[in-house]
Amino acid sequence: MSFDVPVVHTVEEMRAFVRARRQAGERIGLVPTMGALHAGHISLVEEARRHAERVIATVFVNPTQFAPGEDFSRYPRTLAADCEKLATVAADLVFAPAVEEMYPSGFCTTVTLEGPAKADLEDHFRPTHFAGVATVVAKLLNQAQADIAVFGEKDYQQLLVIRTMARDLDIPTQILAGPTLRDRDGLAMSSRNVYLSAEDRARAPALHRALADAARRIAEGEVIGHVMGEAREAIVSAGFEIDYVEARHAETLARIARRHEGPIRILAAARLGATRLIDNVAVPAA
């Protein structure tokens, strides 16, 4: 296939690109994705461009972050469409490796995690997920040797896990956050939104409405436990089945009971039918 954005499939090809750009004195930005790109992903490329002359987008559906029974086999794979979207923002390279390139025969190393990866949020429901994420991201950061890498705030716990991993393993790439992009009705953009039925799509914005209302009320001084209880009731009333809806310390994801205990992030995961949605909002500073 031929695209306006060059596509490479091996680590050596990507590294050759990076070497040439570094010799030209240019900074490198990296935007790891699993493809099925939407405007939220494209905004991450635009954010990377603000910090680097050259931007590499990776497209790789990583099998190690899917547990048995999850949607790895049906996760959308749309490389041609992804490259067309990346061309609109002048991404400089797409790295789209095969599974065998990332996990060759004999591969047996993973990253072991504590800290924000063990916060009893996503890790409770997907206990192997972050080890798979951290391992593939560590590989990508090492492969690209980028100056900066951009990850979306929608996957907030993942963002903190990656920042902690990069710090602890002395990976020099600076980890930057891109804000969550939303549809006009507030639903966070996600590749999995395509799975929503028309009825569930109409209900879906209730998740963000409940979180935003809870954040406002906590900022105004209401009791966190009371506010979060009512937020959960509102989400269930909208037709969701809740995995978690929690107010946590925004930097550590530790449990938090009072407004003064630190910056707060409200995080949620809930299901509409067969589709699992995640979202989070910051509680405004007092």
Q: How many CB atoms lie within 10 A of CB 78?
A: 14
Q: Indicate the angle between helix axes 206-219 and 224-237, nearest 10 degrees.
A: 170
Give, in order, the Cα–Cα distances in Å from 76 to each of 59, 193, 274: 11, 11, 15
Residues 120, 96: Cα–Cα separation, whole Å: 32
The residues annotated as belonging to the active site are: 41
Taking the CA atoms of 241, 243, 249 and 255 in sequence, report the sign of the dihedral they define. positive
Kindly give, in sequence order, each residue whose CB lies less than 8 Å from that of residue 237, ignoring residues fewer than 6 positions away. Answer: none
Residues 11, 97: Cα–Cα separation, whole Å: 8
Cα three-residue angle 276-206-245, rounded to 5 degrees: 60
Token pair recorded at residue 41: 């992903």
DSSP secondary structure code for residue 279 in this structure: E
